[in-house]
Each structure stands twice: as structure tokens, then as C-alpha cells.
């Protein structure tokens, strides 16, 4: 994404807050004017008490009164301006975070599968924070800095044109210095942001697999990978710090040249009687104030380049493909009967390699369909297509005669219930997790669902029962207990179509028998898809689909497939 586009999009984020931005500019102007008028008053005061017996106390008293008024205006304006700038920045970041979070739930699943979760986490947290810091500095220091430079030049030109000319001639040095550093820092900050995302992804992955790493004694190997990443991050970070750290010394050097030039010329003009000592003092103060904003603006430019690099990563995520409710011609169906037709279905992640192709079959309402096959044959991918997590490359899926891409995803998923091999529980109470799909469920309904899933007994043994808080990722529960809760979640709201993707893989054999009986009751009159590696769990299915290398090579009942003595038969005997 080009910098120009990023700047324009940042401006679009700021546009809704233009009233407060303008108000902040007016307050910045008041703050700058009051601070720049103080040296004028100081110079006048010096001229009013230039020697013994020549002090005009009345004039000095009047000047001191104005001095106090200017200080009060400056302090009040700066205070209100700071509050406004913080409010605007917070509001922009608040809205951006909401957009990013909504995008996270709306972005195509395929995008999330191809990106590291840690990298996405970094964009949503670290990159937003850096953009926030850059915007706040821009609003607070850039406004006052630019206004100070312009106003100081005007004041200096009204006092003495020759000394102002010295300042103007040396100004391009500061601009060149700031521009050079800004260009250098952006490239390194962009790479630094990307590496931080990689580091976050690696740490996230390692924390999730710490037991596995320990079990395989791979700590040194993982430490080596982490060391390489941190070394690269440190190298890029040091380059960023180098260029950002030379900002202040460079601009201070230029400032020193400006101040020296003004002091020398002012000294000669004072000796010649062209200016008073008070005027020289005032002008030296202006020369110092004029160069100071260049330090601040250079620092802001450096920080803002970091913010722009992070903004680019944020906008890249916001621009990711979003397939929510992309429908061809809207169907008004709201409830499914359970009839499904698959016609010439094809899909692949890499378009140069086939995964699923030419899949055709018909499912009557209330049928129980089992899908079996070796690992990697496309079973879970097919389930993802049924749920419209992915869109097919060709062919179509019809629910009760309606194309899947004509049905709103919210409607489709309301009619399909899933229990996956991978469990997901949120950091909340057990009752809240069971009621996740039906938030208004009563406690009696939750308990009844848990009993059907055979989870009630272990929940009752917990200290707080259904009010027990679940640790992040269900860390205080066993794998089997987590899966029982996921099954109970499905038991609470029973849709017309069920998908059980290795739903009993983490449950002991005895509990599995009871769960299977519960599922049989649950599946009565409902269309069900059962993905299973253990063939013993799908003997009673109405139709068994045998998949291999992305295609259905056999289909029929258990008895029919055994009699055919084909691939299914060989799988059965290999167990």
C-alpha cells in the first residue's frame, strides 16, 4: 500500500472529528500567540528599566499584568487543547478497534487460515497503539509547532527584517534534515512492525504448544528459532533507533546556527544603535522559539512514520476479502427441512492443485450421512463448504432447493449445528459457555442440555458448579470435559441439520457409548453429517461417503460397502 493512500485513509479517519480539530487549532493559535507575545513584553520591560533611576514602575506594572494574562491564556488554551486532542485520538482509535474486531468476525476464514494468529493479534493491538501515539503527537505537537514557526516569522519580520532574513535563509537546513530522517525511518519502522507481528505469532504458537515442545525436548531448537527472530528484530530496531536518535542532535545543531547568526547580527545592530537591548533580547527569544518546533516536528515526523507503517498493516487487514452475506439472489427461506443436493462441487486452496472435485450426491431430510476417508482427503474442507466458511470454485450446494449463496449466512448457520474436533470455550462460566448459542436460555434448560451430553456429573463436582469460571482456552478442564461442554452447547439449541466433525475424539470409550446414544436421540428427524475416523461409530448411517484424494470414490450403507470389498472394506479391516 503506497504512502499517499495511507495518508488519505488516515485523513478519512480524522474527517468525522473536524469540528474538534478546528477547535484545537484555534486553541493552539491562542496558545502560540500568548507565548510569543511574552518575549515582546519582556523586551519592553527591559527597555523600561535600562539603568539606575530610569525605571518606569507604572509601565513595568502594566507589562507584568499583561504578562500574567498571557500566561493564564497560554495555560488554559494548552489544557483544553490537550483534552480535545486526547478525546479525538481516543475516539478515532475506539472506532478503528471496533472496525477491526468486526472485520475479524467478517473476514473470509480462508484469510485467517493463511495468516499467523499472532500477526493478526499484533495488528489489532500493537499497531493500533502505535497509530494512536502517532496521531496524538501529530495533533498536540504538529499543530502548535507549525503555528509557532509561522507566527514567530511574522513577529520577527515586524521587529527587524534583516535578522528575520538570517533565520529564513537557514530554515531549509532544518527542513532538509527532517525530510532526510523521515524517509529513512519509514522503511525501517515498516519492517520493524512486520517483524513484531512475526515475533507475536511465534510466541503465541509456542505458548500454545509448550507441553509438546517439552515432551519432544525441542526447547533448544525453538529457542534457536526465537533467537534468530529477535536478532533480526534487534538489527532492524537498532537501525530505526539510529535514524530516530539523530533527529534531535541534528536539528539542535541547525538551531544553534540560527541562534548564533541572529546573535552576531543583532550585536552589530545594537552597537550601531539600530535596535535596543530589549529588542535584541526579544529577537533572541524568538530565534530560540522559532527553531524549537523543528525539533518537535522532526520527532513527530519520526514517530508518525512508525504510525504510518502500522496504519498500512491495519488497512491491509481491513481490505482483506470479506464474504459476509455476499449473495447472488436473495432467498427468503428461514428454516430448513434438511434436504441437501451437492452438484459438481469443486474446491481447492491452491488453484493449481485439485482438492475436492466433481462431488455429487443427494440427501433426504432426516438422513444420517457419514463421511470417512484417510487424513487429508478433504472431509473437513467439505464441511467448511457446507457452512459457507469457504465458497466453492465450481458447482453448487442446495438446501431445500435453494442455492447456498442465495441464503444469508446468518440464516444458514442458524439452521446448522456443529461440534468440531477442536474445542473452543470462552473465558466465562460453564453456564455461559453452554448457552453461547442461546443466550436467553434458562438455568433449567442449560442443566437439561448438560445432562443429555453427560456433562452434568463432572460439572456438579466442581466447586462452583455451573458458575465455575473457565480459564483461557479451557485450561482448567480436560480435553474430554471441554468436548462434553461443546456437545452440551449443541444440545441446547437443536437445528434441523447437524455436523459432528470427530465430535467424540477426546472422550473415553464408555462415555462415547453414552454420547452416541444421546446423539441418536438428538439426530432423530434431523439431517446429520458425521465425520469420523473410527468406523465403528458410523455403522448405522443411512449413507456412508468414502472420500479419497478429494473425491467420493464409494457410497452406500455399511453392509453394501462391505459386500463391495473396496476401499471402505480395506479401511475397516486395517483397524
Cα 564 to chain center, whole Å?
53
The x, y and z cell numbers of residue 328, run together, are: 447472488
Would you say the C-alpha torsion 288, 291, 295, 297 has a positive or negative sign? positive
Indicate the pTM of the whole model.
0.62
Identify the pLDDT of residue 51: 53
Q: What are phi and psi of 341, to 5 degrees?
A: -125, 130
What is the rounded CA–CA span in Å between residue 462 and residue 469?
Answer: 10
Give the pLDDT confidence score for residue 285 in this predicted structure: 75
Sign of CA dihedral 268, 272, 278, 279: negative
Q: Largest Cα–Cα distance of the chain, in whole Å?
A: 124
Which runs of consecutive H residues, i.e. helices, occur in 246-275?
Answer: 247-271
What's the DSSP call for residue 140?
I
- Per-position b or e across 54-78, b if 16+ CB within 10 A of its CB: eeeeeebeebeeebeebeebbeebb
> 30 CB contacts (<8 Å, ≥6 apart)?
73, 74, 77
Task: Return the pLDDT at 72.
Answer: 92
Assigned C-alpha cell, 523: 439426530
Domain ranges of the chain: 3-318, 340-574
The H-or-E segment that residue 195 falls in is helix 161-208
Task: Give the CA distances from residue 273 to residues 55, 56, 63, 261, 269, in Å, rounded to whole numbers and listed in that order.
Answer: 20, 22, 24, 18, 6
Domain 3-318: CATH superfamily is: ABC transporter type 1, transmembrane domain (1.20.1560.10)
Which residue bears the cell 471496533? Answer: 98
503 by Cβ neighbours in 10 Å (0-12 / 13-18 / 19+) ranks as buried
Q: For every one of its 575 residues, what pLDDT tens digit does the chain have, with 9 covering 90 and above?
A: 567 788 888 888 888 888 888 888 888 888 888 887 877 777 777 776 765 556 677 777 888 888 888 889 988 988 998 888 888 888 888 888 888 888 877 776 667 766 666 677 778 887 888 888 778 777 777 777 778 888 877 877 777 777 777 777 777 776 676 666 666 666 777 777 777 777 777 777 777 666 667 766 777 877 888 888 888 888 887 877 777 677 667 767 777 777 777 777 777 777 777 777 777 777 777 777 776 776 667 667 767 777 888 888 888 888 876 654 555 556 677 888 888 998 888 888 777 777 888 888 888 888 888 888 887 788 888 888 888 888 888 888 888 888 888 888 878 888 888 877 677 788 888 898 888 888 888 899 889 888 888 888 888 888 888 888 887 766 678 777 887 888 888 888 778 888 887 666 556 666 666 666 667 767 778 888 888 766 666 777 888 888 888 788 888 888 888 888 888 888 877 65
Nearest alpha carbon to residue 250 among 328, 179, 324: 179
Of the candidates 523, 575, 522, 567, the residue with the CA atom closest to the CA atom of residue 545: 567
Looking at the domain that runs over 340-574, which CATH code has it been given? 3.40.50.300
Question: CA Rg, the chain, in Å?
Answer: 35
Amino acid at each position: 500500500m503506497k504512502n499517499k493512500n495511507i495518508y488519505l485513509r488516515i485523513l478519512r479517519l480524522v474527517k468525522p472529528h473536524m469540528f474538534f480539530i478546528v477547535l484545537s487549532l484555534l486553541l493552539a493559535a491562542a496558545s502560540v500567540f500568548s507565548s510569543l507575545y511574552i518575549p515582546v513584553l519582556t523586551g519592553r520591560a527591559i527597555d523600561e528599566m535600562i539603568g539606575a533611576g530610569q525605571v518606569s514602575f507604572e509601565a513595568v506594572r502594566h507589562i507584568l499584568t499583561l504578562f500574567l494574562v498571557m500566561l493564564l491564556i497560554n495555560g488554559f488554551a494548552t489544557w483544553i487543547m490537550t483534552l480535545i486532542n486526547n478525546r479525538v485520538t481516543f475516539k478515532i482509535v475506539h472506532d478503528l478497534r471496533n472496525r477491526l474486531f468486526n472485520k475479524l468476525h467478517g473476514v473470509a476464514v480462508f484469510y485467517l487460515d493463511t495468516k499467523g494468529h499472532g500477526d493478526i493479534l499484533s495488528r489489532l493491538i500493537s499497531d493500533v497503539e502505535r497509530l494512536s501515539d502517532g496521531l496524538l503527537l501529530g495533533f498536540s505537537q504538529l499543530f502548535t509547532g507549525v503555528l509557532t514557526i509561522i507566527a514567530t516569522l511574522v513577529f520577527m519580520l515586524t521587529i527587524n527584517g534583516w535578522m528575520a532574513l538570517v533565520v529564513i535563509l537557514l530554515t531549509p537546513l532544518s527542513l532538509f534534515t527532517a525530510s532526510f530522517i523521515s524517509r529513512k525511518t519509514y522503511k525501517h519502522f515498516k519492517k520493524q512492525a512486520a517483524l513484531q507481528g512475526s515475533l507475536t505469532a511465534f510466541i503465541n504458537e509456542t505458548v500454545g504448544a509448550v507441553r509438546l515442545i517439552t515432551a519432544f525436548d525441542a526447547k533448544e531448537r525453538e529457542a534457536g528459532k526465537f533467537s534468530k527472530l529477535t536478532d533480526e528484530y534487534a538489527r532492524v530496531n537498532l537501525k530505526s533507533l539510529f535514524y530516530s536518535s539523530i533527529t534531535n542532535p541534528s536539528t539542535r545543531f541547525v538551531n544553534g546556527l540560527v541562534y548564533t547568526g541572529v546573535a552576531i547580527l543583532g550585536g552589530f545592530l545594537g552597537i550601531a544603535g539600530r535596535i535596543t537591548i530589549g529588542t535584541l533580547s526579544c529577537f533572541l527569544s524568538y530565534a530560540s522559539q522559532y527553531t524549537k518546533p523543528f525539533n518537535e516536528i522532526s520527532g513527530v515526523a519520526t514517530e508518525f512514520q512508525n504510525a504510518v507503517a502500522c496504519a498500512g498493516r491495519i488497512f491491509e487487514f481491513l481490505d482483506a476479502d470479506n464474504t459476509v452475506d455476499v449473495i447472488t439472489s436473495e432467498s427468503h427461506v428461514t428454516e430448513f427441512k434438511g434436504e441437501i443436493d451437492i452438484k459438481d462441487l469443486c474446491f481447492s486452496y491452491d488453484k493449481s492443485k485439485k482438492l475436492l472435485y466433481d462431488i455429487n450426491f443427494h440427501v433426504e431430510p432426516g438422513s444420517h450421512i457419514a463421511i470417512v476417508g484417510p487424513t487429508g482427503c478433504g472431509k473437513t474442507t467439505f464441511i467448511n463448504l457446507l457452512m459457507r466458511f469457504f465458497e466453492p470454485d465450481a458447482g453448487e450446494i442446495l438446501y431445500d432447493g435453494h442455492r447456498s449463496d442465495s441464503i444469508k449466512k446468518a440464516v444458514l448457520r442458524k439452521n446448522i449445528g456443529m461440534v468440531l474436533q477442536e474445542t473452543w470455550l470462552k473465558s466465562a462460566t460453564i453456564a455461559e459457555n453452554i448457552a453461547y448459542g442461546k443466550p436467553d436460555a434458562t438455568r433449567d434448560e442449560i442443566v437439561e442440555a448438560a445432562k443429555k451430553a453427560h456433562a452434568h456429573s463432572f460439572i456438579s463436582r466442581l466447586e462452583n458448579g455451573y458458575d465455575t469460571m473457565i480459564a483461557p482456552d479451557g485450561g482448567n478442564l480436560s480435553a474430554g470435559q471441554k468436548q462434553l461442554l461443546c456437545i452440551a452447547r449443541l444440545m441446547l439449541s437443536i437445528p434441523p441439520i447437524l455436523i459432528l466433525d470427530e465430535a467424540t475424539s477426546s472422550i473415553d470409550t464408555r462415555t462415547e457409548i453414552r454420547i452416541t446414544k444421546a446423539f441418536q436421540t438428538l439426530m432423530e428427524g434431523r439431517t446429520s453429517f458425521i465425520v469420523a475416523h473410527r468406523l465403528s461409530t458410523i455403522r448405522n448411517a443411512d449413507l456412508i461417503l468414502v472420500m479419497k484424494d478429494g473425491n467420493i470414490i464409494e457410497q452406500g450403507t455399511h453392509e453394501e460397502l462391505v459386500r463391495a470389498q473396496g476401499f471402505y472394506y480395506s479401511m475397516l479391516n486395517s483397524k
